[in-house]
A and B are shown apart, each in its own frame.
Chain A
Amino acid sequence: MKTVKALTGNDAVSYAMKQINPDVVAAYPITPQTSIVEKFSDYVANGEVDTEMILVESEHSAMSACVGSSAAGARTMTATSSQGLALMWEVVYIAAGLRLPIVMPIVNRALSAPINIHCDHSDVMGIRDSGWIHLFCENAQETYENTIQAIRIAEHPDVQLPVSVNLDGFIISHEVANVEIYDDKPVKDFVGAFRPRVSALNLRSPVTVGPLDLQDYYFEHRRQVADAMVKSLNVIKEINAEFNKKFGRLYKVIEGYRLEDADACIVGLGSTMGTLKDLVDNARKAGKKIGFLKITVFRPFPKEDIVSALKGLKAIAVLDRADSVNAMGGPLFGDIRCALYGASSAPVINYIYGLGGRELTEQDINKIIDDTLAAARTGKTVPEPAYIGVRE
């Protein structure tokens, strides 16, 4: 049932898309996403999928074509990065507001200027509040499996929201790893058939999609988006459980590592959490009681799960691979500290790292571990946000 293949993260996403066999993919190339759509277009050209591939002239058009296609009742996907996502921005909000279950892998890359093609999370943080669900992957295996699960999450009747699947540019997207691939049939059975809530092309039952919605109704429709986001958390947990049972996995909205007896914890997103597994193990061998918490589901924000995982800890470090440039701290830091309000008075330290692909070194992480454990002992925090890995 499982085959191990040597795949890049992008190839793993393309393979998931091949098994999903969406009705429509509309996309535009952009580094480091390009190889997802490039590989997928091979599948289209070879007749391995039935997908209608729309090659558009920009990302604004890519997301516009996705909105049209999804509203017409087609299972629709795209993929992008960085400036491409920035160009899509207004249509990204429309996809959520119209409740269209589009799935979009985002290969995370810094935003200009200065121009940079390497990893950070500035791109997806720009659509943080758009009404999309945001999943973060630690490695190529997770990109494959989160893409498959994203389809089910987006299309669930209680959700009907678009989903982004985030993978760190180059670090996950271009690194070759062993990925366990499932046979087509169980994946197709899991994904199931698309039952669109709306079809703008059904002449027997014509509908209006995207009408003018002023002071009298706009607020009600946005309130529905907020409600769907709340409900999506339990749906994601159910779909994770179903996936885990079928494929023998351990997907959860958050993943704690060695937190049971920890004094302090590091919270973060993406590939960095894989690196932390090794370095936390090393620190443990040296008697340092540190653990970490990986956030897989960033939107909806799994507040209660996070609070119960972090409650007893004496200090918490939050790693942000994006800067909110707000003179206060990064986006994940703000969320974590807000979630902990009233539940924990432990110091929360914010580290902003890795902008534009800057490596977070072993020394950097060991310093974070030592400083966080020191904060756990003294109750004192470092000035925030702390920029780590930048030259003074």
Chain B
Amino acid sequence: MNSDLKRPKGWKELPAGAVLPAGTAVEYHTGSWRTFKPVWIEKKCIHCLQCWIICPDFSVLVKDQKFDRFDYDHCKGCGLCAYICPVKGKAIVMEKEVKE
């Protein structure tokens, strides 16, 4: 994102009535709300993708039909992925978020 896009727009520049292009939630990094973050333990993962199904924020990213990584820009840390994980001992665990 260039610096011009980062500058918040004034009222004369904005479209009226808060009508925006579709899909702008991508630009809104709700990951900053997180208190706990999910951590993936690769060696335990069976790639059942139940975490991908249950994630309410599309923050489980899949590649070649396998778990790839979390989208930490948008994951709010709700913990549903860790809850649903069927593996004994869990392939996803919640850890306290450490703010950089």
Contacts and interface: CB of A to CB of B under 8 A. Distances in A.
Interface of A: 97-100, 160, 197-198, 206-211, 213, 216-217, 219-221, 223-224, 227-228
Given A99-B17, A223-B11, A224-B14, 12 more contacts: A97-B17, A99-B19, A160-B16, A206-B21, A206-B22, A206-B23, A208-B20, A211-B24, A219-B11, A220-B10, A220-B11, A221-B18
A43 B66 CA distance: 60
A207 B19 contact: yes
B89 interface: no
A208 B24 contact: yes
A160 B20 contact: no
Given A216-B8, A220-B10, A221-B11, A99 B16 contact: yes
Contacts of B14: 217, 220-221, 224
Contact of A211 (B10, B11, B20): B20
Q: Which interface class (under 10, 10 to 19, 20 to 34, 35 or more) fits B?
A: 10 to 19
Contact of A98 (B19, B21, B23): B19
Going nearest first, the 6 A-B pairs with the smallest beta carbon separation are: A99-B17, A206-B22, A220-B11, A223-B11, A208-B20, A98-B17
19 contacts: A97-B17, A98-B18, A99-B17, A160-B16, A160-B17, A197-B19, A198-B17, A208-B23, A208-B24, A209-B17, A210-B18, A211-B18, A216-B8, A220-B10, A221-B11, A221-B17, A221-B18, A224-B11, A224-B17
Interface string B1-39: 000000011110010111111111000000000000000
B22 A208 contact: yes
Contact of A220 (B9, B19, B20, B22): B9
Nearest to A228: B16
A99 B17 CA distance: 5
